[in-house]
Structure 1
């Protein structure tokens, strides 16, 4: 019986320690917003004229990281402040504003993540329609990170997205 007491004590201490870990809430270490949204635009196109649709993968709150050729991980502690789809939508409405509000533009974003080689990856396609004009193109941006960390990834994603919007702006008629 005396030999059993230390074993039971160790088991109880282990259970208490494990239950403490399990009951701790996962805290968010960082919420991120695209810097494109930091300025107040003079003009904004309506959401009906400028639509952004994201792939299901990007509906996660966590910033996405590619860990291997087959694995994508959504960060639990580093998240978008608000939905990424909404941030992309608002940035399109701001950047592609007057005189670029004519016609209807739909942008499908397929990828928006950090890859396992230290790059921000932004890919997808877009379709612009106005009267008898229809323009459709794909986009693929790969922006190297300047530093390690989520802040650097968000800045690189922002730059890749900004470059994409600039290409679209130059391709659609005023």
Structure 2
């Protein structure tokens, strides 16, 4: 009888330990370093960042890591603290607002006289070669004229681990914001 009790207690203890893996939650950090404003701005231009969409495999809670040329792993213990789409939209709004002085950049419609930007993110993950991958495309509606641009960035991770991966992804997203800001300012 005592043996059964010890076995049952051991099984319960092991089951409890195996289910209590530590989870880590990640939020994209605010822009690091100086955010460079794009020169030669028109003041008073309005930009509505209508939506940032992510590919289905990026839409879950887990941070994504590519283990070889065809395989991806979605982490079960390294999770986004809030939905990735939401984080990407908020950081892009902050970056574009800082980079486009004199512009009104918002996540809300401002009316008829505004540019409308939509971004689709098809890659936002770590890769087996130590790079963070940020890819996708954006579409701008400027006075009825549509402009589409693709992007594909790779940022080297300075060290291993999810913390370094998230920082490298944030750096790449900030770089892409700079590219978008430069291209938006050039459109007249």
Normalising by the smaller structure, the TM-score range is 0.7 to 0.9
CA contact (8 A) 1:31 1:78 kept: yes
The separation in 1 between residues aligned to 2:132 and 2:159, in whole angstroms, is 12
The answer as to 2:76 corresponding to 1:91 is no
The answer as to 2:64 corresponding to 1:52 is no
CA contact (8 A) 1:100 1:169 kept: no
Aligned residue number for residue 40 of structure 2: none
CA contact (8 A) 1:141 1:160 kept: yes
The separation in 1 between residues aligned to 2:26 and 2:156, in whole angstroms, is 19
The separation in 2 between residues aligned to 1:114 and 1:37, in whole angstroms, is 19
The separation in 2 between residues aligned to 1:127 and 1:100, in whole angstroms, is 18
Q: Which runs of 5+ in 1 are unaligned?
A: 1-5, 39-45
The answer as to 2:62 corresponding to 1:62 is yes
Quick one: which of 19, 40, 57 aligns to 2:15? Answer: 19
Deviation at 1:140, TM superposition (A): 0.2
Kindly provide the CA deviation profile for residues 50-94 of structure 1, in whole angstroms up to 9, marking residues without a partner as x: 320111111111111111222111112221111111000111222
For the pair shown, the structure with the greater C-alpha radius of gyration is 1
The answer as to 2:150 corresponding to 1:138 is yes
Higher mean C-alpha displacement, 123-132 vs 99-108:
99-108
TM-score normalised to structure 2 length: 0.73
4+ residue runs over 2 A deviation: 8-22, 24-27, 46-50
Q: Which runs of 5+ in 2 are unaligned?
A: 33-45, 106-113
Go from structure 1 to structure 2 and tell me whether the alpha carbon gap of 1:112 and 1:9 turns closer, same or farther (over 3 Å shift): same
How many matched pairs? 162
